[in-house]
Chain A
Amino acid sequence: MGQKITIEPVTRVEGHGKVTIHLDNEGNVTQTRLHIVEFRGFERFVQGRPYWEAPVLVQRLCGICPVSHHLAAAKALDVIVGAGTGDGLTPTGEKMRRLMHYGQIFQSHSLHFFHLASPDLLFGIDADPVKRNVIALALENKDLAVQGVMMRKFGQEIIAATAGKKIHGTGAIPGGINKHLSSFDKKHFLNGEAPLNIKTMVDWSLAALEFFHDYHEKNKAVIDEFIEIPSSYLSLIRKDGALDLYHGVLRAKDQNGNIILHDVDYQDYLKYIDEEVKNWSYMKFPYLKELGKEAGWYTVGPLARLNNADFIDTPLAQKEFENFKSYNNGKPSHKAMHTHWARLIEILHSAEKMEQLLEDPDLTEGPLTVKGKKESEGVGVIEAPRGTLFHHYKVNDHDQIEMCNLIVSTTNNNQPMNEAVNQVAVKMMTGKEEISEAMMNAVEVAIRAYDPCLSCATHALGQMPLEISLFKKEKMIDKKRNR
């Protein structure tokens, strides 16, 4: 008699989903699925609204990385108001948005690494569930927990200073930004009392990497061997090949590191990317058209970005990037747990970028917006913390949005997460009599590496947990786990 495992909710991720694992009579895994069970419909209810509302309205998709949606929408509308495709803004407009974005990457990555992922590393995948959380982390390793909390706070304060609020601000408007950085804020971030100044943030970003390296040294099996998901990788990249989280061209590499999408303009993304709908999930499955539905799936996010980048334009992060590349022999890393490594390098890069920007006089003076010949359609793409984020709008002659298409970072990672769930289930559960708590958590650890935001990905209201379940094929014995 077959069995079906349901893990529900999957915890320490943003959003609500569940995992089902089907086992046959011999205990072999026959099917695994990550189901996203929320539906939101932002693409529909933004229709008819004046276009300038979009960056403020659509960012309500998410409370974790609203800045990404805010900026991606603003970038699409830059095109519509004739401000160019990402490089036509005033220096103040672009640099204020960049500062906001680096603050966002810094806070979101810190939240993920310290609050959501580090308990798995510190206490082990098989640790008592009561212990696998940030409170236990604070009791066990106070310094690490404090650093995590304060790094997130710093990022949030950068967002508040540029967007007006820590969550759901209004800073980016079509064609630029609505404010300068105040000289008070500039001084506070550069020379404020420790720890909330940029120098401490750079130091702590380095310390987080040290913590990771130390852990990696002692736990190679977890970081290098836990799961490996060979795939194509998609990301924005600066025209000269540098890592750029705010603007660039689209690049994709195959699993061997060969470029398969050659630095194309994202205004034409529909030429290269399509989305497939499957009847068991509200989350779509994007793929590269050229490779087709079966082979065209790809991974986005920190690991994809570092796999695609030629270099990083900040010195400390570049040094770490070189270590990362050399550890993987110059080839793309397919190790899901290396995503944490890549994420920490991006934290450091963001801190360095913020430091550079805070010294820039353009932030405190200069024109805020620019406008030109109006267009009826625009695409905005940004590297959100979780990966490449697409916003596409069409407006009518009366400035009302008539079409909106969003491909959210986690949606891009739909197939890789399903592959990861399958791989862990096969590896950990095949032929096992009893499905233990540790096995269930291992499935969640695999999903967590992608730092999914399931609410964003289904554009969902309500509770946030994700579930895993195991049940018998015929009798449907439901061992639903709610943690």
Chain B
Amino acid sequence: MVRLERRAKPSALWAVLAPLVAVLITMCAGGILFAVLGKDPFEAIATIFWEPLFGEFAEFYRPQLLVKGGPLVLIAIGLSLGFRAGVWNIGAEGQYIVGALCGAGVALAAYPAEHALLFPAMILAGLAGGWAWAMIPALLKWRFGASEILVSLMLVYVAERLLKAMSLGVMKNPDGMGFPGSRNLQDYPSAHNAEIFADTGLHWGVVAALIAVIASYVLLSRHVLGFHIRLSGQAPRAARFAGVSPGRLMLFCMGVSGALAGAAGLFEVAGPAGQIGISFNAGYGFTAIIVAFLGRLHPVGIALAGALMALTYIGGEIAQGDLGLPAAAIQLFQGMLLFFLLAVDVLTHFRLQFARKGTM
């Protein structure tokens, strides 16, 4: 019989090992899944993890790592602050959409005027849009105690509706011959979030993600606000005893995660995506939740986890094209990663105890 016994203190070894073991188990379970779908499991796994980095067309795929990883890391950093404090913003996808709509809105309103300050103004609008969308669940929780999990999640679907309405209505490209979607910001120099160095994938969103990683590292390890965030998550009563106002801390965490998600949306719409369209959002806001946990809610871990998840996105697309794997299989694969991580995580706090027989 196997039993779980609580460790005297969380195992530092397993805290690091858990994500790696989870990735391995996910590969195995994913392999079985792909085998059942009638694909060669080894080829499928290799396509997802190997092809984008070292395969024949790696030159083309490697920059994509930054393009996909940037928004994931930027959103996940914001979410991790909240998750550490016990504030569960599940609606980053919606904040990402609204941030993109606001930022793009500024650009489309200014079109075709060229001005050096246009792009900074768009960033501010993106931050503000995401922040405002996150403030809806935050204020409802603050005032009425409504669950921020449900409200923020439901607002994702509202944001998706808003996105469709905008791409078919106000923001529709007047020169687009009736097709849904806005003007392409890539063709609008002042508004374009162009690559800083050509063909590297390094755009301003990636820079913002790096800054967020460093800032959040400093905040969590050195600043008293970061200490209060960690304290609130681990022992809410102790935090209140220390003088933390739980309501204000919740507003801060929701605000920051919303603003960063909004900024990620803006960088995406002004850069890689280029335009507001019906299917603009690609699930970064949800995948970022996995990234945050896979990275142990630690800034450096999140940067690494973001890279890994970006890899599965790119590898997944290749596998879709080359092997004909359904898109849902890749999403399932990503979901499994979080699932196994949470399962393996038990070993951080508990040890397995194999009961010996015949001792009684």
Bound pair: A and B?
no
